[in-house]
Every structure is written in structure tokens, then in C-alpha cells.
A and B are shown apart, each in its own frame.
Chain A
Amino acid sequence: MKIILSGPADRPIYERLKNGIKAQIVSGELSAGSMLPSIRVAAKELGVGIITVKRAYDDLCGEGYLYAEQGRGVFVSNAGSAALAQKNLQEFADKMLALKQVATALNITPEQAEKIFREIWRKD
């Protein structure tokens, strides 16, 4: 498998690695039960520290997206992908709610907001 970093470059690498793995779980590229590369292999592939990768894996295990089997490796958990997709939607909805309040304060109509949003999307 390919391991990726995702998110702004000024964020800590372990955070970007976590985001990258989460994104691959959501997209289905990493399906439930698939094994991740060992910590040392991943560190080498990404050119980052061993502890950095370990921290990302440990965090994701703690959050339930991955699980570790002693002596075998680290795997994507069943619950991970569905829960993550749901959580991402919720997180996005929360951000939109905050934006809606800004829009209301600035007298921006839903139509205008939608137009701006689509425009940003298109340019990206």
C-alpha cells in the first residue's frame, strides 16, 4: 500500500500521517482488516522519525480506527471506516453551522454563500 501525509504542511507530521491514514480508510483504499506497513518501514517510506509513525499509529488505535495484534502488526478495524465517515460529516456540519452564523451576521443569503462555496471548489 501507499502511505500518504495529508493536511497543511505546517501541522505536525504525525497529525498529517493520521489524516492521511484516515482519508484512506474513508475512501475505502484501506479496507477493514488490511494491514499497515510496520512502523520502521513506514518511517523509511515517508522519510520521517520512527517515533512519529508510532505516535500516529498509537493515536489511531486509541481512537478505534486501527488495532494492533501483538507480534503480527497493525490493522484497520471494522468500526473504523463507517464511524469515521460519520464523524467527518458531523465535523463538517459543525463548521458549516459556524459559517452560517457568520453569513447571517454579514447579511449573506444562502444562495450567495452557496455560490461562493462552489466557486472556491471550482478554483481548487
Chain B
Amino acid sequence: MEKCEYGLDKEGLTVDLGNFRLDNITLKVPRGCITGLIGRNGAGKTTLIKTIMRLNAACAGRILYEGLYFPEHEEEVLNKIACVFDSPVYGKNARPKQIVKYYRRAYKNFDEEKYNALMARFSLPHDLKLSRYSFGMNKKYCLILALCQGADILLLDEPTAGIDPFDRSAVVELIQEFMQSENHTVLFSTHITEDLDRIADYIAMIDGGKLKFMEEKDELLNSYRLVQVSAITDEVRAVAMGIKSTPFGVTFLCKAEDVPEGASTKIPTVEELFVALTEQGVAAAPDGNPFGM
């Protein structure tokens, strides 16, 4: 990107929650870009986001925000990061007009004008209890609160999980509006929805608490092909991942340079890549490093 500084830099982050462990994750989230975090349920996505927000204590490693280390500069850093968790953190009986009072006090940069404009734009009533909000309205409301905190970094845990395509496109729109500033950075975990994946600049995949890769999305997708052939040979089997046989032939994923001659191919979507790599058992790769990193 224009700048190569990192908005958020997690060095060798290790979190141990007893039955679950994030293992020595080093993830550099580039400033001015959108990074999508993919992984199966239980892979560690939410744990990673909660750890960045210091809801889980890391037992090793540090989080660096533009040169400021997290534990030492907690207040400055937390003022720069806004987070939307996957489950609502407000009581069901709370009403937006009460919640916003708290936000006004808690965040010195809270942008009330923007807040009111966004509430009006998405027709969210100020005096309705959140229990009367639909699921999609709740998601949009949490995102609006985060966007109005005046933060530079936005962390989103599954921002579009469980909401309909109409609300999903509103979420995508809000994220892209936030990204109009070069100093803004977004890290979201995703349940693999195409509209959300389309706007990501980088894709990071975690599996079993380990970071499998973090790559620029276009380059990552372009280095693989989804191939369809009528029958598979042993040679092809050696390079194929996520092989699926149907009555009409065989489809699989392989590196672009391994495509068998004459096969019909297409560039995979994030979802197709994710499914094939997961089926292939990325975690079980012998050298633990199937991506040449």
C-alpha cells in the first residue's frame, strides 16, 4: 500500500486459556487496509480479537500499536481501537439513548453528529429497547457505536454472521466508508461471505490456534486454481487439494503452476480456497508450512 507501516502489530502473541491455546501468533495488520481473518469455528479467531482487546491476558508476546506497546500505554491504545464483538455486550433492556450517554462520557472523541446521522440513515430508533431491535439492527447498531468512537483501528468479530444480505451490504458499506481515510485499519473475522471477502485486502488464516498464512488477497487467490477434469490421474492427485468427485468429473484445488494441461480452470473465491485447504488438513501438513512461507 502507500505506506508500509503497520497499524497493529502482534509479536509472538501467545494466549493460554487452559483448554485452548493461541500459539505464538505474529500478525502484522497493515495500516490503511482491510484484513480478513478466516478459520473454522474454534480455530481461535474470537480468542485472537479478544486478546487484542485485552479481554484475555496474553501469557507471552506483545501488541504494538504504531510504536506504542499495549500494556504500558493501555489508555492511549484503547482510545485508538474500536471493537465489535460477535455477541452484543449491552443489556437487552438498554435503549440507544441511554447507551449513547455512556459513550459520550467514555470516549472523548465520540462523534455525536455522525452517530445521529447514521442512526437516521439506517432508521434505528433511539428510544426502543435493544430487545425490540432485530438481530440485523443490533449488529448495525454495534457497528455504528464503534464507528463513532473516533478510533483508527476497527476490530470486527464476525460482523455479518447471521444477518440478511440487505443488512450485510449495509455493513460492507459502513466498513468501506470508514476506510476512506488512509489512516484507518480494519481487521475482521469472517464467516466467509462473498461480499465481505471482496473488500478485504489481506487474508489471514488461523487453524488450531496457529497462524497458517497472511497474504495479499489478490495474490493469494491468483496463486491457486480450481480445476475441473473428467478423471484424475495419480500425478494430478499428488498436487490436488480438496478433491471432489461428481458424476460429471472431478474438481479440486491446486497451485496455479500445477494445473494439468488442457483442464478447465478458474480462480477460486476465498470460500472455495478455504474449504479446499481445510479439507486438505492444512494443520496436518508434514512441514507445517504448505504455503512456502
Contacts and interface: CB of A to CB of B under 8 A. Distances in A.
A96 to B, nearest CB: 23
Contacts of A14: 218
Contact of A43 (B176, B218, B222, B267): B176
Interface string A38-56: 0011011001111110110
Contact of B179 (A11, A12, A44, A54): A44
Contacts of A51: 1, 33, 201-202, 216-218
Interface in A50-83: 50-52, 54-55
Contacts, number: 55
Contact of A47 (B33, B199, B217, B267): B199
Report which residue of B32, B199, B216 has the largest number of chain A beta carbons within 10 angstroms of its beta carbon.
B199
Report which residue of A13, A50, A54, A55 has the largest number of chain B beta carbons within 10 angstroms of its beta carbon.
A50
Contacts of A50: 1, 32-34, 179, 201
Given A10-B266, A47-B195, A55 B218 contact: yes
Nearest to A40: B180
A75 B253 CA distance: 39
Contacts of B267: 10-12
A118 B199 CA distance: 40
A12 B221 contact: yes
Interface residues of B, number: 24
A49 B34 contact: yes
B118 interface: no
Taking chain B's interface residues, is the majority helix, strand, or loop, or is none over half, making it mixed?
Answer: mixed
Contacts of B176: 43-44, 47
Interface in B158-202: 172-173, 176-177, 179-180, 182, 195, 198-202
A39 to B, nearest CB: 9
Contact of B199 (A12, A49, A54, A55): A49
Contacts of B182: 40
Contacts of B177: 44
A13 B266 contact: no
Contact of B180 (A44, A54, A55): A44
Contacts of B200: 49
B198 A13 contact: yes
Interchain residue pairs A-B with the least CB separation, the first 3: A44-B176, A10-B266, A51-B201
14 contacts: A10-B266, A10-B267, A40-B179, A40-B180, A43-B179, A43-B199, A44-B179, A47-B176, A47-B198, A49-B199, A49-B217, A50-B34, A52-B218, A55-B218
Interface of B: 1, 32-34, 172-173, 176-177, 179-180, 182, 195, 198-202, 216-218, 221-222, 266-267
